[in-house]
C-alpha cells in the first residue's frame, strides 16, 4: 500500500495542515528564485475559501455549484434591453462577492480571449469567425466593430504599449494599434502546427494558441498536444505540447517548457515570471499496483471512473527555461494517501506519478526528477484564460482564471471564474470569484473563458457558451 507523503500538506475538510518537510528528490530541476520574493506578503483575506481540491467528490450526489463558493452571494444577472436572447430569455443568477454586481455587458458570439487596448476598448477574439472585435463603452451600451477579419482561428491577445499581439492557430503576429485601427502586421513566428499541417492530416485537438510577452520582450506561445495522449508531440518540430519562446527582436522559436499538454492559460506574473494554466489528460489509468476501493487484486492500468473524476488535476505552473511538466509520461497526483479511494487532496506542491499507459516502467521519464506543480484545481475543470490583476479586499493581487467546466466527468465540474492570491512569488489556493453557472442537475447556462480587469476596476468575463461578455463590478464601480 502506498504510504502517505509526510512532506505534503494534508487537507482535512477546508483546512490544510502543514506537516514535516523532507528532502526534495535528487535530480529535480530547480526553478530560479522569484524576484521580490522577500517582499512583505499582503494581509490574509478576511474570509479565506476552501480550495476546490480539499477532497474528492466522487460520482454521486448533486453537481457542485462551484469550487469554493462559501461567502458568495446569489444576485440576478442584469440584462440590458436588446441583450435578452437565449440564455438570458429567462432570469439568471450568479454567485458573486457580497456587494458586487454582474451584468451582461455585450453579446459576442463565440467570445474567447480578451485584452484591453491603450484607448480603453476591449478586444475579444472569435476563433470560429476568424475575427477580433473591438468593443467601446457608450451611454447606451458598448458598440462592437470588427477590428480585423480573415484570420486563422485567432485566439490569444496581448498588448505591449501600442502593439497588439494576436495568436492564430498557425502564427503569431504583432500589429501597431492606433486610433482604433491596426497597421501592417509583423510575423513573429509562422508555420505553427494546426489542423492544416500536412503531417497531422487534420487531426489536431488543441489548435487554439495563446500568447504572452515577457518584460524583456520575449514572446511566448502555447502549442497544445495533438491528442489526449500523443507522445510523438515531444519530438515534433516545432515541439507540440510545449510553450515556445521567441527571443526579443525575433529569431527561431525554441521550447521554453515542455510536457505542457494544453497550456491555454498563459500570462506574465507581477514578478515577470511566465505562468500557464494547463488542461490535463482524460481517462487516466490507475497508476498504483494495489486495489482501489473495495476491489480485489491490483487495479493498476485500469480506467476507473471514480478515480478519473479527480485525477489528474489541472495545473497552474510557473515556467522557467527547460521546465518539464511531464505530460504524457508523468501526471500530478494530489492525493495525500496516493492510490487510496477517498483520500484527502492537497492542491499545492503536487508531485508526479508515472503514467501506467505511457510510462509503466518509468523509463520514458523519471517522474521523481520533475519539480512539483505549484498549484492545481480539480480534474477536468478546463482552465482557459489566465490573467493577473489587483481586486478590492479581501482579494488583493492575484491570478484570475476562466474555468470552462468539465465535459467528461460523472459529476460535472462547474464552470466559474477562480481567483488565486499572489503572495511572495507564489499562488495561494483556489477561490471562486464568480459561480452559479451550473445547476444541481449539472445543466449550465454559461461557460466562462477568460476574465481580465478593466481600467475602471471591474472584471470583464467572456463566455462562449452564452455568447456574452459580463461586467463584474466591485461595490461603487
Structure-block grid coordinates of residue 425 = 512569488
Q: Which residue has the cell 485601427?
A: 181
Beta strands in 108-171 (DSSP E): 114-116, 122-126, 131-136, 143-148, 157-160, 163-167
CB 364 within 8 Å of CB 357? no
Mean pLDDT of each 10-residue bin along the chain, 477 residues long: 39 30 33 37 31 39 67 96 97 97 98 98 98 95 97 98 98 97 98 91 92 98 97 95 96 97 97 98 97 93 97 98 98 97 96 98 97 97 98 97 95 96 95 95 96 98 98 93
Query: So what's the pLDDT on residue 384?
Result: 98
CB 101 within 8 Å of CB 107? no
Angle at 11 between CA 273 and CA 394, to 5 degrees: 55
Buried b (16+ CB within 10 A) or exposed e, 319-334: beeebbbbbbbbbbbb
Query: So what's the pLDDT on residue 324?
Result: 98
Q: How far apart are CA 199 and CA 249, in angstroms?
A: 30
Q: How far apart are CA 402 and CA 383, in angstroms?
A: 6
Beta strands in 110-253 (DSSP E): 114-116, 122-126, 131-136, 143-148, 157-160, 163-167, 172-178, 181-182, 186-189, 211-213, 219-223, 242-246
Q: How far apart are CA 111 and CA 279, in angstroms?
A: 19
Residue 421's DSSP bridge partners are 398
Query: So what's the pLDDT on residue 42?
Result: 33
Domains delineated in the chain: 46-473 (2.120.10.30)
Residue 54's DSSP bridge partners are none
Return all residues near 44 (Cβ < 8 A) that are at least 6 apart: none
Query: So what's the pLDDT on residue 201?
Result: 83
CB 415 within 8 Å of CB 436? no
Element containing residue 305 per DSSP (H, E)? helix 305-308
Structure-block grid coordinates of residue 366 = 523519471
Q: How far apart are CA 74 and CA 102, in angstroms?
A: 10
CB 287 within 8 Å of CB 308? no
Bridging pattern class, strands 352-354 and 330-332: antiparallel
Q: How far apart are CA 384 and CA 334, in angstroms?
A: 21
Query: So what's the pLDDT on residue 199?
Result: 87
Query: So what's the pLDDT on residue 460?
Result: 98
CB 257 within 8 Å of CB 318? no
Q: How far apart are CA 362 and CA 350, in angstroms?
A: 18
- Tell me the pTM: 0.88
Q: How far apart are CA 239 and CA 54, in angstroms?
A: 35
Q: How far apart are CA 468 and CA 306, in angstroms?
A: 34
Backbone angles phi, psi at 386, to 5 degrees: -135, 130
Return all residues near 106 (Cβ < 8 A) that are at least 6 apart: 83, 135, 141, 142, 144, 468, 469
Amino acid at each position: 500500500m502506498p504510504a502517505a507523503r509526510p512532506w505534503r500538506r494534508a487537507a482535512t475538510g477546508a483546512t490544510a495542515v502543514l506537516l514535516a518537510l523532507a528532502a526534495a528528490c535528487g535530480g529535480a530541476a530547480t526553478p530560479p528564485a522569484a524576484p521580490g520574493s522577500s517582499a512583505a506578503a499582503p494581509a490574509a483575506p478576511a474570509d479565506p475559501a476552501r480550495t476546490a481540491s480539499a477532497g474528492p467528490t466522487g460520482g454521486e450526489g448533486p453537481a457542485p455549484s462551484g469550487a469554493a463558493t462559501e461567502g458568495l452571494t446569489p444576485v440576478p444577472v442584469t440584462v440590458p434591453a436588446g441583450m435578452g436572447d437565449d440564455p438570458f430569455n429567462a432570469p439568471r443568477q450568479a454567485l458573486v462577492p457580497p456587494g458586487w454586481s454582474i451584468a451582461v455587458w455585450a453579446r459576442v458570439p463565440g467570445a474567447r480571449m480578451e485584452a484591453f487596448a491603450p484607448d480603453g476598448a476591449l478586444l475579444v477574439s472569435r476563433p470560429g469567425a476568424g475575427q477580433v472585435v473591438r468593443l467601446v463603452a457608450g451611454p447606451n451600451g458598448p458598440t462592437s466593430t470588427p477590428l480585423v477579419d480573415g484570420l486563422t482561428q485567432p485566439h490569444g491577445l496581448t498588448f505591449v504599449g501600442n502593439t497588439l499581439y494576436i495568436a492564430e492557430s498557425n502564427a503569431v503576429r504583432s500589429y501597431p494599434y492606433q486610433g482604433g485601427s491596426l497597421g501592417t502586421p509583423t510575423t513573429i513566428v509562422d508555420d505553427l502546427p494546426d489542423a492544416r499541417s500536412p503531417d497531422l492530416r487534420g487531426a489536431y485537438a488543441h489548435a487554439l494558441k495563446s500568447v504572452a510577452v515577457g518584460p524583456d520582450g520575449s514572446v511566448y506561445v502555447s502549442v497544445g498536444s495533438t491528442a489526449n495522449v500523443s507522445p510523438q508531440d515531444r519530438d515534433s518540430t516545432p515541439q507540440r505540447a510545449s510553450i515556445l519562446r521567441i527571443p526579443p527582436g525575433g529569431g527561431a522559436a525554441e521550447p521554453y517548457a515542455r510536457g505542457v499538454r494544453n497550456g491555454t492559460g498563459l500570462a506574465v506574473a507581477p514578478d515577470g515570471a511566465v505562468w500557464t494554466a494547463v488542461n490535463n489528460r482524460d481517462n487516466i489509468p490507475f497508476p498504483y499496483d494495489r486495489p482501489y476501493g473495495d476491489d480485489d487484486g491490483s487495479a493498476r492500468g485500469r480506467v476507473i471512473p471514480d478515480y478519473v473524476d479527480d485525477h489528474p488535476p489541472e495545473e497552474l505552473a510557473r515556467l522557467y527555461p527547460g521546465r518539464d511538466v511531464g505530460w504524457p509520461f508523468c501526471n500530478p497526483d494530489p492525493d495525500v494517501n496516493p492510490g487510496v479511494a477517498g483520500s484527502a487532496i492537497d492542491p499545492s506542491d503536487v508531485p508526479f506519478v508515472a503514467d501506467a499507459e505511457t510510462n509503466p516502467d518509468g523509463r520514458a521519464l523519471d517522474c521523481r526528477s520533475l519539480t512539483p506543480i505549484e498549484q492545481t484545481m480539480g480534474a477536468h475543470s478546463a482552465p482557459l484564460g489566465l490573467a493577473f490583476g489587483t481586486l478590492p479586499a479581501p482579494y488583493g493581487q492575484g491570478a484570475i482564471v476562466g474555468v470552462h467546466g468539465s465535459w467528461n466527468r460523472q459529476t460535472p465540474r462547474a464552470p466559474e471564474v477562480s481567483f488565486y492570491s499572489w503572495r511572495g512569488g507564489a499562488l495561494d489556493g483556489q477561490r471562486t470569484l464568480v459561480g452559479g453557472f451550473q445547476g444541481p442537475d449539472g445543466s449550465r447556462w454559461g461557460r466562462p473563458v477568460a476574465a481580465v480587469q478593466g481600467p475602471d476596476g471591474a472584471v470583464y468575463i467572456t463566455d462562449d457558451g452564452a455568447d456574452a461578455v459580463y461586467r463584474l463590478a466591485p461595490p461603487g464601480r
